[in-house]
């Protein structure tokens, strides 16, 4: 059975090539459709079955089962006005013909005569929101009992299944598009943060130099005081930039960079951090119990960063009239570094959130940082193959413990 070539037509202007191709592809992704079309042909004895995309202007085959050489393949088109699918679309009802040449309604209809068919069934594929997609249809040059209620029910069920699956496909595509857009936006944002943090280094360095010059003006106490305050602010800004850059590196996938090497000076490096915090907060009682000796393998700068951030957290949230205690020793090939402070315990509900980026407790003071310090500490610990944990209670205070393999 051959279809006249003149009956194939290009898509009308109201149907873009892109929209048609998208819908053909969507049907093609539904793995059950070929099986459904085979079942239709086997159960009805008809030789051609198809899922068609039908609009006012176009009829496009999206999937085809053809054993009678009708001549259509997925993407192939017919002039919509030559099909009975257009009538089904207007009525939003199935069109069913058992024997066209003897049918009182369709004996003289142009479609059966044009395509030399006797049996025909076309059932609308309608989305749950009422949008019309097309038709599930079958034809054959021989008569067939397609008006049987079981056949019509099968077609209706299959058409509904295809409509629901198309909706699922569309939802998944929207979700994937939204996810990709969100990922692209997040990556762009984090790249911007990284570039901004890098570009802040030069002006911040100039501010630091100016602070040092002011501090040297010993004959002018007011300038020394201003320089000292400016130097402290510069140091704090530099630490914030470090945290932001580290966060951007982790989130962009390059990970927390480490420079592991052997060092004999880890203890003195930790003491340097403690002395710096003591100098910035002379009113606080900061105690140390360090027992780290010999050669260890680690990224000393990153471990100093962990201690600096943990001490900064203790200074910000601990009770000013209770001591802050720093302990460090080596046990079983691990550096165990802890910072303990007194004060109100961390609420149990906050413990699970405390290492999340940008998270700060509700009672945080304004200007207290970005909420990245503890997140960066946990990432440094993880990069070393270690852990960072916290315990907090009224009797024993809040204690952060980092356990880092160093051998």
N-to-C CA span, the chain: 80
- State the pTM of this model: 0.50
Structure confidence at residue 242 as a pLDDT band (50, 70, 90): confident
Distance, in Å, from the CA atom of 261 to the CA atom of 263, rounded to the nearest integer, reads: 6
Q: Nearest to residue 32, comparing CAs of 135, 150, 165?
A: 165
Q: Residue 3: what pLDDT?
A: 47
pLDDT top residue among 50 and 191: 50
**Tokens 């356990």 correspond to what residue?**
403
Burial of 200: CB neighbours in 10 Å, binned 0-12, 13-18, 19+: middle
Q: Does residue 11 carry a pLDDT above 60?
A: no
What is the share, in percent, of the chain residues with pLDDT greater than 70?
Answer: 88
What is the β-pairing status of strands 324-331 and 286-291?
parallel
Instruction: State pLDDT tens for residues 253-305.
Output: 656 778 888 888 899 999 999 998 898 888 999 999 999 888 888 889 889 98
User: Quick one: average pLDDT of 102-125?
Assistant: 94
Helix then strand then coil, in percent of the chain rounded to 5, is: 45, 20, 35
The answer to whether 185 and 251 are in contact (CB under 8 A) is: no
Instruction: State pLDDT tens for residues 173-210.
Output: 888 888 888 778 777 766 666 666 666 766 777 888 88
Q: Does residue 172 carry a pLDDT above 70?
A: yes
């Amino acid at each position: 059975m051959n279809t006249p070539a003149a009956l194939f037509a290009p898509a009308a202007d109201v149907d873009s090539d892109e929209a048609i191709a998208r819908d053909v592809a969507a049907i093609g992704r539904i793995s059950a459709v070929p099986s459904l079309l085979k079942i239709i042909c086997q159960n009805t004895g008809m030789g051609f079955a198809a899922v068609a995309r039908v609009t006012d202007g176009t009829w496009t085959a999206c999937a085809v089962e053809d054993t009678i050489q009708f001549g259509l393949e997925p993407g192939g088109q017919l002039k919509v006005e030559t099909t009975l699918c257009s009538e089904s679309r207007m009525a939003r009802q199935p069109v069913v013909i058992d024997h066209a040449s003897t049918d009182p309604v369709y004996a003289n209809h142009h479609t059966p005569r044009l395509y030399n068919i006797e049996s025909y069934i076309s059932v609308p594929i309608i989305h749950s929101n009422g949008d019309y997609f097309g038709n599930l249809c079958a034809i054959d040059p021989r008569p067939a009992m397609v008006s049987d209620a079981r056949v019509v029910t099968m077609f209706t069920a299959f058409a509904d299944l295809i409509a629901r699956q198309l909706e699922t496909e569309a939802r998944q595509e929207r979700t994937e598009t939204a996810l990709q857009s969100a990922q692209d936006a997040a990556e762009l944002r984090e790249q911007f943060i990284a570039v901004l943090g890098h570009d802040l280094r030069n002006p911040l360095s100039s501010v630091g130099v100016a602070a040092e010059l002011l501090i040297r003006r010993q004959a002018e106490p007011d300038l020394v005081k201003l320089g000292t305050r400016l130097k402290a602010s510069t140091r704090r800004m530099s630490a914030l930039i470090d945290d932001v850059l580290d966060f951007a590196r982790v989130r962009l996938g390059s990970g927390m960079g480490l420079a592991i090497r052997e060092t004999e000076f880890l203890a003195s490096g930790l003491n340097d951090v403690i002395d710096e915090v003591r100098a910035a907060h002379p009113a606080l009682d900061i105690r140390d119990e360090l027992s780290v000796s010999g050669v260890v393998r680690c990224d000393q700068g990153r471990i100093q960063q962990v201690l600096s951030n943990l001490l900064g957290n203790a200074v910000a949230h601990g009770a000013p009239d209770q001591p802050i205690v720093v302990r460090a020793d080596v046990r079983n090939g691990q550096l165990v570094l802890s910072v303990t402070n007194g004060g109100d315990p961390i609420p149990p509900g906050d413990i699970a959130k405390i290492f999340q980026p940008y998270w700060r407790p509700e009672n945080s003071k304004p200007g207290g940082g970005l909420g990245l310090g503890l997140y960066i500490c946990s990432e440094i610990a993880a990069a070393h193959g270690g852990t960072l944990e916290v315990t907090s209670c009224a009797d024993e205070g809040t204690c952060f413990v980092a356990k880092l393999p160093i051998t």
